[in-house]
Amino acid sequence: MNLSEIIQKQPKKPPRILIYTIPGWGKSTLAASMPKPVFLDIEDGLSGLKNAESFPIPKSYDEFEKYLRMLIEEDHEYKTVVIDTLSSLEKLIFEKVCSNGNKPSIESYGYGKGYVYAMAYWNKTIDGLNRLRQKGIASVLLAHSEIKAVNDPIIDTYDKYILSLHKHSSALVTRWADNVFFGTYKTIVTSQGEGFSKVSKGIGQGDRVIYTEERPAFLAKSRMGLPFEINIPKENGWNVIK
């Protein structure tokens, strides 16, 4: 056996995308513009989307897993699976872990053990999405954002938008995703006055944007060579990214 027999060219695979945004930005609308999407709608947030196809809202992690397994094992024409949202999925996972141990809350395990047990179900979910990818199906994970103070040893403490998830699950899905998009409204900062009377004001024009590279203010990344900032229209946003 030689190198020419071992080395293979990697086939093009569907993207793994994580989108987290400020409230009301329209992340479900963006995901709905992707090729032939089907939603695993855990949050019941699709009422404003016309013609969106989704499974019934799962009432447990076992039910969510059953739907995911159906997409893996059965023949269908869907090209994109959307989990909406990760915060709601995390709640189902915590309920599953608490039920397994007959605990009233995830904190009842003590010493952070409950969160460690929860990672088994996160890994099972990621494994399922990887199997869908082998079938040619893209994955889109939708998440809420929250603001966290970052204690940097080099500079002063600053605020940063991060995923509204426990740090263990957040680290897992961030590593797994090819693209982490942060969605917000573009803001222009203007200054008025001089000296001690100088005041800075943020002015928004309603422009919806996603950021694809990390900055101190937010988490983001892209393995697709995308521009740092992309304007996203309210309709057919995926066409702009594509």
* Rounded CA Rg of the chain: 20
pLDDT in tens, 101-133: 999 999 999 888 999 999 999 999 999 999 999
What's the mean pLDDT in 13-34?
A: 94
Residue among 13, 27, 45 nearest 163 (CA): 27
The residues, any chain, with a CB within 8 Å of residue 166's CB and separated by 6 or more, are: 90, 115, 118
Question: In 3-state terms, what secondary structure has residue 12?
Answer: coil
The answer to whether 128 and 72 are in contact (CB under 8 A) is yes
What's the mean pLDDT in 166-194?
A: 86
The answer to whether 69 and 128 are in contact (CB under 8 A) is yes
∠224-144-134 over CA atoms, to 5°?
45
Cα–Cα separations (whole angstroms), residue 135 to 67, 75, 93: 16, 10, 25
The predicted model scores a pTM of 0.89
Directed axis angle between helix 113-134 and helix 167-176, to 10°?
20
pLDDT band (50, 70, 90) for residue 151: confident
List of domains in the chain: 9-241 (3.40.50.300)
Widest Cα–Cα separation across the chain: 76
The string of DSSP codes covering 45-66 is --TT-TT--BPPPPSSHHHHHH
pLDDT in tens, 204-225: 567 899 999 999 999 999 998 8
- Asked if pLDDT for residue 232 goes beyond 80, the answer is yes
**Residue 11 main-chain phi, psi, to 5 deg:** -70, 155
